Amino acid sequence: MITLTIYNGETRQVEEGSTLLQLAQEFAKDFATPIVEGVFNGETVDLQQPLHCDGTVDFIQLKGEDGLRVYVRTLLFIFLVTSKRLYPDVELEVHNTLGSALHCVFKGEKRLSAKALKLIEAEMRKLVEQKAPVKLLRITKAEALKRYGHLCSDDLAPLMCNIADEDLVSVYSLNGEVGYLFGAMCPDAGYITEFKLMPFDDGVILDYPAFSDWKELVNFKDLTKLNAAFRETEEWAEMINCDTIAKLNRYIEMGVADKIIQMAEALHEKKFAAIADEIAKHRDKIKIILIAGPSSSGKTSSTQRISIQLAVNGIRPIPISMDDYYVNRVDTPRKPNGDYDFETIDAIDLDLFNAHLTRLLRGEKVKIPKYNFQTGLREYRGTELQLTENSVLLVEGIHGLNDRLTDSIPAENKIKIYVSALIPLAFDQYNRINTTDVRLLRRMVRDSQFRSHDAVSTLSRWADVREGEEKYIFPYQCSADVIMNTNLIYEMAVIKKYAEPLLEAVPRESGKPYMIARRLLRLLKHVKSMDDAVIPNNSLLREFIGGSVFKEAL
């Protein structure tokens, strides 16, 4: 017998080898949404995973980013199994997310028609109605390779070498079909109630609920520009034969990783130069450049790199801080819990901001405020701005894509740039790497390097950060004029050596941060470390690991 201590303080004696599934059903009434994953001794576990020692127990419900990750993985597995059964000649590859949707593309010449997708969706819904079991098989790596070696692609096989033969791996089966996806799944197909399949571009969209509302699908937005930016980077990664972790690891082992760094940095320079060149073509009209993006997407370095390229074109960028236009703290909107909401656009004095922009575009000299974050008041310290013939205003901030920020400025006088870190690397054709995880690793390393924040602090605040992004940034992605992908294809190999010690130091008693830390460590164990000495000092990655040449705004 083993002893389990439940989240509510209750203890239970259960047979060794028992799972959390029965307990999840028993305690389901304590949660607002279905339980989809367990937490045992601080680490996430599949509800079907056998337990062999005493420990603490908690649960992850569907509502929220952690639960949605399990939901989407299960949805994908059901889709892959069903499509493979009905159309065995069609090969699919999992790519990127587009809002609350997963984009899969076709490999080879075989395609699924809209009619075929309807048939697949109908069959998937039958599995949902039947609550078809998604069975977890915990077997040794050696046995998994012997029985299901065909599941290992050329890219996945080298990663399996990092696992000892006697170590257990998780393999899943549904209707007799077996799959190897990284992470837990729902116990049966009945959990996957809301989804939709749609043809999109050169593949399929799997639409699913947003993590804020698990019962309702959000209307899918055709994020063509965002998808094009991702595909462009992915095609480039394929062209240089570095589109998976296994291939990146191989370059590192061969001692030629510096070539990958040089190519990735050259690609960035080319993109920043192209953006500046496009602005220069319309310098007679464009007077305001708005740069926005989610946390740790590299907005600061991108702004600096674009500024330099503008200067090369004879254009003088003049930065203006959105933060200086915060309303006085007494007028700041509040969240439902009573805390100040500094993330909402209504925390900005939009009338004053637009009035100043309008006057600047007329060529007038304007006294610019400075916000005092200690007193919570706007102050005027004699700073004045005036646009000259060859200058443009450069505005960086989370609300840059929201038209309310600059509603008094004609569209022809501004350009909106969306900065996003879209990683083209994957483990294999079905196991992708989440862009959000890469941004979290960036932020955690930067917080430690420059803000005296440990990993627990960063990981604790991440949920609030993500909530703000979902409210104030992502809904406006489609309004961007330009999308800049700031991911560097080699960056995970560099971030690894900075992030791993921080993650290892997260104590078990921290709760949610520990759970996230263990998940990220499992991801990083597949990546080989890379020396960062050859990374140039103007690299966007230097914003996070240190050594950047950029100190102040131009």
The answer to whether the CB of 317 falls within 8 A of the CB of 365 is no
Q: Do 240 and 161 share a structural domain?
A: no
The answer to whether the CB of 166 falls within 8 A of the CB of 138 is no
CA distances to 55, 87, 529 from 490, rounded to whole Å, are: 38, 36, 10
Instruction: State the DSSP H helix or E strand holding residue 141, giving kind and residue range, or none if neither.
Output: helix 141-148
Give all strands (DSSP E) within 406-460, no chain letters.
Answer: 414-420
Burial class of 201 by CB neighbour count within 10 A (0 to 12, 13 to 18, 19+): middle
Q: Do 477 and 529 share a structural domain?
A: yes
Q: Report the alpha-carbon distance of residue 296 to residue 443 in Å, rounded.
A: 6
Q: Do 248 and 189 share a structural domain?
A: no
Residue 166 token pair: 């006697």
- CA proximity to 444, closest of 520, 528, 537: 520
Q: Do 119 and 82 share a structural domain?
A: yes
Q: Do 55 and 75 share a structural domain?
A: no
Give all strands (DSSP E) within 202-341, no chain letters.
Answer: 203-207, 288-292, 316-319
pLDDT score of 318: 92
The answer to whether the CB of 185 falls within 8 A of the CB of 138 is no
Q: Report the alpha-carbon distance of residue 50 to residue 118 in Å, rounded.
A: 37
Q: Report the alpha-carbon distance of residue 546 to residue 448 in Å, rounded.
A: 10
- Look at residue 553 and tell me if it is in a domain: no
- Look at residue 551 and tell me if it is in a domain: no
CATH at residue 6? 3.10.20.30
The answer to whether the CB of 195 falls within 8 A of the CB of 189 is no
Q: Report the alpha-carbon distance of residue 230 to residue 99 in Å, rounded.
A: 13
The residues, ordered by sequence, that sit 6+ positions from 410 with a Cβ below 8 Å of its Cβ are none
- Look at residue 34 and tell me if it is in a domain: yes
The residues, ordered by sequence, that sit 6+ positions from 530 with a Cβ below 8 Å of its Cβ are 252, 257, 261, 490, 493, 494, 496
- Look at residue 550 and tell me if it is in a domain: no
The answer to whether the CB of 157 falls within 8 A of the CB of 144 is no
What are the residues facing 416 on neighbouring strands? 290
Give all strands (DSSP E) within 243-364, no chain letters.
Answer: 288-292, 316-319
- CA proximity to 129, closest of 190, 55, 56: 190
How many H helices and E strands in the chain?
A: 15, 19
Q: Do 285 and 252 share a structural domain?
A: yes
The residues, ordered by sequence, that sit 6+ positions from 31 with a Cβ below 8 Å of its Cβ are 59, 61
Q: Do 419 and 346 share a structural domain?
A: yes
The residue among 221, 252, 285 that closes a domain is 221
Q: Report the alpha-carbon distance of residue 334 to residue 248 in Å, rounded.
A: 46
Q: Do 124 and 235 share a structural domain?
A: no
Q: Do 191 and 48 share a structural domain?
A: no
Helix locations, 296-349, DSSP H: 299-312
Residue 145 token pair: 């390779």
The answer to whether the CB of 13 falls within 8 A of the CB of 2 is yes
Which sign, positive or negative, has the C-alpha torsion 43, 49, 52, 55? Answer: positive
Which sign, positive or negative, has the C-alpha torsion 483, 484, 488, 489? Answer: positive
The residue among 202, 221, 240 that closes a domain is 221
pLDDT score of 151: 63
Q: Do 193 and 313 share a structural domain?
A: no
- Look at residue 552 and tell me if it is in a domain: no
Residue 411 token pair: 């569209």
The answer to whether the CB of 24 falls within 8 A of the CB of 38 is yes
HSE, side-chain direction, 13 A CA sphere, residue 355: 10
Q: Report the alpha-carbon distance of residue 50 to residue 107 in Å, rounded.
A: 37
Pairing mode of beta strands 196-200, 55-61: unpaired
- Look at residue 382 and tell me if it is in a domain: yes
First to last CA, the chain: 66
Q: Do 448 and 321 share a structural domain?
A: yes
Q: Report the alpha-carbon distance of residue 232 to residue 236 in Å, rounded.
A: 6
Q: Report the alpha-carbon distance of residue 550 to residue 474 in Å, rounded.
A: 27
CATH at residue 380? 3.40.50.300
The total domain count for the chain is 3
Q: Do 534 and 447 share a structural domain?
A: yes
Helix locations, 11-108, DSSP H: 21-26, 65-86
- CA proximity to 275, closest of 315, 246, 239: 315
- Look at residue 278 and tell me if it is in a domain: yes
DSSP-assigned letter for residue 151 = G
The residue among 221, 244, 265 that closes a domain is 221
Q: What is the pTM of this model?
A: 0.91
- Look at residue 368 and tell me if it is in a domain: yes
Residue type, 526: H
Instruction: State the DSSP H helix or E strand holding residue 396, giving kind and residue range, or none if neither.
Output: strand 391-396
Residue 531 token pair: 């020396």
The residues, ordered by sequence, that sit 6+ positions from 162 with a Cβ below 8 Å of its Cβ are 525, 526
Residue 299 token pair: 């907005």
pLDDT in tens, the chain (554 residues): 999 999 998 998 999 999 999 999 999 999 999 999 999 999 999 999 999 999 999 999 998 889 999 999 999 999 999 999 999 999 898 988 888 889 999 988 888 999 999 999 999 999 999 999 999 988 887 887 777 666 667 777 777 777 777 778 888 999 888 888 889 999 999 999 999 999 988 899 999 998 767 777 877 777 788 888 988 999 999 999 999 999 999 999 999 999 999 999 999 999 999 999 999 999 999 999 999 999 999 998 999 999 999 999 999 999 998 889 999 999 999 988 888 888 899 999 999 999 999 999 999 999 999 999 889 999 998 889 999 889 999 998 889 999 999 999 999 999 999 999 999 999 888 889 999 999 999 999 999 999 889 999 999 999 989 988 988 999 898 899 999 999 999 999 999 999 999 999 999 999 999 999 999 999 999 999 998 999 999 999 999 999 999 864 33
- Domain with 20 in it: 2-61
The answer to whether the CB of 318 falls within 8 A of the CB of 387 is yes
CATH at residue 178? 3.30.980.10
Residue 451 token pair: 């803000």
Q: Report the alpha-carbon distance of residue 97 to residue 75 in Å, rounded.
A: 14
Report phi then psi at 359, rounded to 5. Answer: -65, -40
pLDDT score of 554: 35
